Structure 1
Amino acid sequence: MVTTFVSSPPNQAPPMHTLTSTLACVYKPLTLLIYFTIILTLNLQSMASTTTIFSILILLTYAATTATSQPPSSSSTVCQSTPYPSFCQTTLPINNSSATIYDYGRLSIRKSITAASKFANSIDKYLSNSPGLTTGTVRALQDCQYLAKLNLEYLSNAFATVNTTQTTLSDTKSEDIQTILSAILTNTETCIDGLQSNAASWTSKDGVVSPIKNDNKLYSVSLALVNKGWGSKKSKKNRVSHKHKGLEAISETVGRRKLLQVDGTGSQVVVSQDGSGNFTTITDAINFAPNNTSPSTAGYFVVYVTAGVYEEYVNIPKNKKNLMMIGDGINQTVITGNRSVVDGWTTFNSATFIVVAPNFVAMNLTIRNTAGAIKHQAVALRSGADLSTFYKCSFEGYQDTLYAHSLRQFYRECDVYGTVDFIFGNAATVLQNCNLYPRLPMSGQFNAITAQGRTDPGQNTGTSIQKCNIRAADDLAASNGTTVTYLGRPWKEYSRTVYMQSFMDSLIAPAGWSVWSGDFALNTSYYAEFNNSGPGSDTSQRVTWPGFHVINETDAVSFTVSGFIVGDAWLNQTGVPYDAGL
């Protein structure tokens, strides 16, 4: 089979008669080998080539599907478990009486790959005509381009995972695949939001938004089918609190000599503005860091940033895995910028500090966006880094300070300052032992601490705020007290936020939660409180929406570090202390 593909031109699929004969004898365990062989052989250089490879993969793997231990199911039965049953039935017409939930799940992901590839190509075409577009439109399309290519990678990873088993996955792999499929939906929603906000007057906008909304239905179906077929069957149990002190021992005095003593770290570089270190900018140190390292072999690559104010926009890309950045402390090592939506940036790319590299750890840093309340959305940190950890950091801004965009994230002993929706996004996020400081907003505005962005009931995302302190920042505390502060509001239809075991000062409005617009998401969102304290924690006058709940310990366990972000599987290696349970 390898020789067959070599004989074809590098950017063309093999002749159909060759594929037909190949499909007749293909055996499923060889599917992934074939897939990777195709990648190496074609030596792809363009998105068009990517489309070709996915098309070949779809044909090969569909023909290679074999019987499973699951009982056969009709599309009408299987599709009832998805948010879009009618769409599912017309999209996944398997004419095979022995088809199972696994077959439908694989087919849905394969079709998702095709849709994502087509959308990515369309964005490339629009950007090829960028001279005729406004700056805002170009920036929104560039966000969509980046996110579309990320989705293609995620989908191919998801398919590789489900294609290796006929039955259930391990709990870890199940959580992984649910996480990346959840992120795919988040990425497409982010693209839509950027176009609606920054390209509102673009005449071709609907030509981009309409297809991606349809693609989102397909991604939602894929997520639902994977959850049903391969979903984790584990039960959530409260864990005895676990505290790891690997980094805590050096939190007071971080320096070159101390860094060399941290377990689990490999090479280190020093950033110092006075020239005494290896680099004078953080960006240069990140560029120097090795790509795609493994923590089990090389340990973390440590970037120690000495005290100073660094006026630069930091972007840690996906290939800079297992990077640890340590500063000299809050208000000592400061990274600052001032991009905002008012100045033409998308919310997505207004951030001072962006990280998408998996297994990232930050400690003892202050990250600021100084655009001010008048510039509206202006992000300090945007994290789309899976299994990322922030310890003893401060995030300072006004509207949209902390953008926990996607995947799994943990924040411990951090400070967050802001006004409107200042903790937002659609990651699976736990903030533990943090200080949340609502600031004084513009006249006529109210404060909303959270604006969680879950759009689908199958997503494993949400914001859990545990053992935190919520108090007014100095400017709000010194004001006349007329500013209303809410715990959150439903940004998206299935918004999910939980406050547990936290102190709420008197600044929190008795109603607790605010609407977004009319009755939007009041029935479908999930807002919960458990065992909080302080004058703002009284739930007797809280909103009476169907989506609001005062929960018990059994329910609260699902939103702990162990239950919500599977922290026991990855936080130990960071050295950051954490409480696994309640």
Structure 2
Amino acid sequence: MHIFALRLAVVACLATATVTSADEACNGPSSWTGGSLNSGSSSDGSVVSGVSTGSSVKGSMSSDVGAVTGSTGSDLSASGDHDTGSSGACSGPNARTKPPMGATVVDATGAYNGSYLTMSEGVANIPNTTEEHMLFVFPGVYEEQVTVPKFNGPLVLQGYTCNTMQYSENQVTITHKMAQKDLPANVTNARNQLVSTVVFKSKKGVKTYNLNIANPEGKLQQLGQAVAVYVDNTDYGFYACNFTGYQDTLCANKGKELYARTYISGAVDFIFGLQSKAWFESCDLESVGNGCVTANGNSNSSNLSEYVFNNARVFSTNASMNGTAYLGRPWYPYSRVVFQNSRLGDVINPQGWQEWNKDNNTANVYFKEFNNSGPGADMDQRVSFSGQLEEFVAITDILGDDYESKWWIDTKFL
């Protein structure tokens, strides 16, 4: 059965107001306290697999989703001069190597006429109109924090790539090392936004292609929350992207979100959020240290938030980590997460899921699995507050019956 599944603000102001709402703050799950996961980690806590800050960055491996043809997003056929050293090798229908007419362009080398040297400058010069705009980014490592503000129109972010369908071909990286330990103790508002490498706030739809976004803070004993990507509005699609971190890598926090053919790495609660219904299609999820993949924060029975992982691959490249990761733990009592049609590697503990702490009430959590495979998929020793579904969750249940007609959804990645 076939399932279908960046005005600017460089963060410099540290607010001191008290947190007033969950979606404003998303301060994130606390440091890991569950069970044996406090005991040693095989990860060095400083180098995160899948991203490098030395040169053009490529993902650690290709997604096991096969070859797909056809162009995506806006027309990228317009001419532009930029020596990428590809000598024609980077071409074809899936190559995204030149910005279209009218695009705002970022080029760390300054070689492209009219381009901006940083992501922050590029974002600040995107026209704030109701029309669709594109930010095209040439290869490079951009060491900065970036906020995508609330634009009045839809936005496309496109990173240079020879194959838009594969995150392993990405050549643009945005990276910034910062964790909550770096913030003053009196800062209590929106702490995770303040440490995030990229914060997405735009409200009219955003499609992001072929960007690597990293927070290489690594493992910390306290206040280790170090977000790479923070999504704080609805109608977001991320396609063949690469998100790397350790604790709280991705905050999928609000509204409808789609992550397709994307690599996400971390250790502790590395996919988390409060009020998002998010579909993850054909994503590679790498555990780089002891912890849980997800920490969904659905707080009540109205089911404002749910994560569904379809055709995912959950793995670790370190054999000594076998059995040290869990699919999720409930940040709030009505946490909802589903893994279906996915390959679960031996990094997944046979219990599958874990309590937040020993006092956690799991009576209303919704942790489900369906038709998974691999050594981590055996249900025999699963915790009592998880279960198997009798049928798969349809993408329409998360993104709506009309999802295919939505501008921000690129069905070629599904």
Classify the TM-score, shorter chain. 0.7 to 0.9
**Cα distance between partner residues in 1 of 2:199 and 2:69:** 27
Residue 565 of structure 1 corresponds to 399
Deviation (angstroms), 1:466: 0.7
Paired AA for residue 500 in structure 1: Q
The number of equivalent residue pairs is 330
* Residues 283-340 of structure 1, C-alpha deviations (whole Å, 9 max, x = no match): 11211112251xxxx3x31111010000111100112531111112445100000110
> In the alignment, does 2:200 pair up with 1:351?
no
Q: Which amino acid aligns with 2:182?
A: D
Correspondence for 1:438 among 268, 284, 287: 287
1:395 Cα deviation after fit? 0.2
Of 359, 370, 378 in structure 1, the residue corresponding to residue 226 of structure 2 is 378
The answer to whether the aligner puts 1:550 opposite 2:377 as a matched pair is no
Does residue 513 in structure 1 map to residue 382 in structure 2?
A: no
**Secondary structure class of the residue paired with 1:564:** helix
| Distance change in 2, residues 1:511/1:414 (3 Å) | same
The aligned residue for residue 366 of structure 1 is 212
Q: Deviations over 1:114-152 (max 9, x none)?
A: xxxxxxxxxxxxxxxxxxxxxxxx9463474xxx6xxxx
Is 1:336 the counterpart of 2:175? The answer is: yes
**Is 1:141 the counterpart of 2:38 in the alignment?**
no
Question: Does 1:312 pair with 2:147?
Answer: no
Answer yes or no: is the 8 Å Cα contact 1:245–1:576 preserved in 2.
Answer: no
Q: Kindly report the root-mean-square deviation, in angstroms, between the aligned alpha carbons of the 2 structures.
A: 2.8
Alignment correspondent of 1:394 = 242
TM-fit CA distance, 1:571: 5.8
User: 1:276 is aligned with what amino acid?
Assistant: A
Counterpart residue number, 1:208: none
Letter in 2 for 1:254: R
Alpha-carbon deviations, 1:217-256, whole Å to 9, x = none? xxxxxxxxxxxxxxxxxxxxxxxxxx99551897741122
CA–CA distance in structure 2, aligned partners of residues 506 and 565 of structure 1: 31
Separation of aligned partners in 1, 2:310 and 2:395: 9
Q: Give, in whole Å, the separation in 2 of the partners of 1:279 and 1:567.
A: 40
How far apart are 1:568 and its partner, in Å? Answer: 3.2
Work out which structure has the larger RCO, using CA pairs closer than 8 Å and 6 or more positions apart in sequence: 2
Aligned partner of 1:117 in structure 2 is none
Letter in 2 for 1:304: F
In the other structure, the counterpart of 2:105 is: 270
Post-superposition offset of 1:387? 0.5
Report the Cα offset of residue 569 of structure 1. Answer: 3.6
CA contact (8 A) 1:338 1:370 kept: yes
Distance 1:304 1:463 in 2: 29
Rate the CA distance shift 1:537–1:412 in 2: closer, same or farther, 3 A.
same
Letter of the structure 2 residue corresponding to residue 356 of structure 1 = K
1:80-479 map, 5 Å: 139=14, 141-142=16-17, 144=19, 186-187=22-23, 190=26, 246-247=71-72, 252-256=94-98, 259=100, 267-277=102-112, 278-293=115-130, 298=131, 300-319=132-151, 321-329=153-161, 330=167, 331-344=170-183, 346-358=191-203, 359-374=205-220, 376-426=224-274, 427-439=276-288, 441=289, 446-472=290-316, 474=317, 476-477=318-319
Post-superposition CA distance 1:147-177 (Å, at most 9, x none): x6xxxxxxxxxxxxxxxxxxxxxxxxxxxxx
The letter for the 2-side match of 1:370 is: P
Instruction: Tell me the SS of whatever aligns to 2:117.
Output: coil
Query: What is the CA-CA distance between 1:416 and the residue it aligns to?
Result: 0.3
Q: Provide the rounded CA distance (Å) in 2 between the counterparts of 1:311 and 1:481.
A: 31
Q: 1:462/1:141 Cα in 2 relative to 1: closer, same or farther (>3 Å)?
A: farther
When you count strand as a share of all residues, which structure comes out higher?
2
Contact map agreement 1:245 1:577 (CA 8 A) in 2: no
Q: Residue deviations 1:153-206, cap 9 Å, x none? A: xxxxxxxxxxxxxxxxxxxxxxxxxxxxxxxx6326747x79x99xxxxxxxxx
What is the CA–CA distance in structure 2 between the aligned matches of 1:482 and 1:254, rounded to whole Å?
38
Taking a change above 3 Å as real, the CA distance of residues 254 and 506 of structure 1, as seen in their structure-2 partners, is same
Shift of 1:276: 2.1
Aligned-residue identity in percent: 28
Using the TM superposition, give the Cα deviation of residue 389 of structure 1 relative to its aligned residue in structure 2, in angstroms: 0.5
Question: How has the CA–CA distance of structure 1 residues 302 and 189 changed in structure 2, closer, same or farther, with 3 Å as cutoff?
Answer: closer
> Which of the numbers 485, 509, 531 marks the counterpart of 2:371?
531
* 1:318/1:334 CA distance change after superposition, 3 Å: same
Name the CA shift for 1:485/1:569 in 2 (closer, same or farther; >3 Å): closer
Structure richer in helix, relative to its length:
1
Q: CA deviation at 1:274?
A: 1.2
Q: Does the 8 A contact of 1:307 with 1:327 survive in 2?
A: yes
The 3 A distance-change label for structure 1 pair 372 and 448 is: same
What do residues 469-517 of structure 1 show as CA deviations (whole Å, max 9, x unaligned)? 1111x3x33xx34661100001111111010111111111110001111
Q: 1:438, 1:393 → 2: CA distance?
A: 17
Shift in CA distance, 418/253, structure 1 to aligned 2, threshold 3 Å:
same
CA distance in 2, matches of 1:186, 1:501: 32
Kindly indicate whether the alpha-carbon contact (under 8 Å) linking 2:157 and 2:208 is maintained by their aligned counterparts in 1.
Answer: yes
Q: Is the 8 A contact 2:342 2:371 kept in 1?
A: yes
Structure 1: 5+ residue stretches without partners: 1-137, 149-184, 198-242, 261-266
Q: For the residues of structure 2 that align with 1:246 and 1:254, how far apart are their CA atoms?
A: 9
- Rounded Cα–Cα distance in structure 2 between residues aligned with 1:274 and 1:143: 42
String of CA shifts for 1:253-294, please: whole Å, max 9, x gaps. 11226x45xxxxxx312110111232111111211112251x
* Partner secondary structure for residue 397 of structure 2: helix
